[in-house]
A and B are shown apart, each in its own frame.
Chain A
Amino acid sequence: GAVVSQHPSWVICKSGTSVKIECRSLDFQATTMFWYRQFPKQSLMLMATSNEGSKATYEQGVEKDKFLINHASLTLSTLTVTSAHPEDSSFYICSAKEIAKNIQYFGAGTRLSVL
């Protein structure tokens, strides 16, 4: 299957700093990428949908100024958690939709710990 690379896998940061997470589709082009948040023992919660070359669409309740999404190319989307606080600590997962197949492939996730 198609491969999605997500980096970093684990990041620890101080409260008030910003953290950037990268999501790359390695062997296919993805006009649409998705960002999810997953709390322990829960399902994935969609945060935003990212389209190449346009502004992201955020789900209700997700602060777009805190979670900045950029999708500058057909293979790369980034999520920046700005002014991170301990309550932002979570597991963040990206996915990329392969155009022709209507399948989402997932990155390995990023564990964010804010001290």
Chain B
Amino acid sequence: AQTVTQSQPEMSVQEAETVTLSCTYDTSESNYYLFWYKQPPSRQMILVIRQEAYKQQNATENRFSVNFQKAAKSFSLKISDSQLGDTAMYFCAFMKRPGGSQGNLIFGKGTKLSVKP
């Protein structure tokens, strides 16, 4: 069975600075997807970034980038130029590549990020 671990329950960062959120996972699969979702106080889950395991290049989306280390089963999220609107709960998630599964997500417990002015 797959597991996702986020070892930092809470983090804080000053506005405009950079912060990195950690995520490790355990799987015997070779093909899968990894995601970071954010859940602001509104509780709407928002997709931040997605990584396909067979791609070696790290995904980037504007100020958000990942450091994907497949051998180490590590998938960290870097937020550059942090903004107040980045304050949220961040969840790391794993999805087996469909072809047998229905594509359900396995979530970590989350990291609460506070961006301070």
Contacts and interface: CB of A to CB of B under 8 A. Distances in A.
A and B: bona fide binding partners: yes
Nearest to B109: A43
Interface size class of A (residues with CB under 8 A): 20 to 34
Chain A interface main SS type? strand
A71 to B, nearest CB: 12
Contact of B45 (A42, A49, A51, A93): A93
Interface string A28-46: 0000101000100011101
A1 interface: yes
Contact of A102 (B42, B95, B110): B95
A53 to B, nearest CB: 14
Contacts, number: 53
A103 B102 contact: no
B103 A1 contact: no
B44 A106 contact: yes
Interface in A1-57: 1, 32, 34, 38, 42-44, 46, 49, 51, 57
A67 to B, nearest CB: 16
Nearest to A2: B47
A19 B41 CA distance: 25
Given A95-B45, A108-B44, A102 B107 contact: no
B78 interface: no
A93 B42 CA distance: 12
A42 B37 CA distance: 14
Interface of A: 1, 32, 34, 38, 42-44, 46, 49, 51, 57, 91, 93, 95, 97, 102-106, 108-109
10 contacts: A34-B104, A43-B91, A43-B109, A46-B104, A46-B105, A49-B104, A51-B102, A106-B45, A108-B43, A108-B44
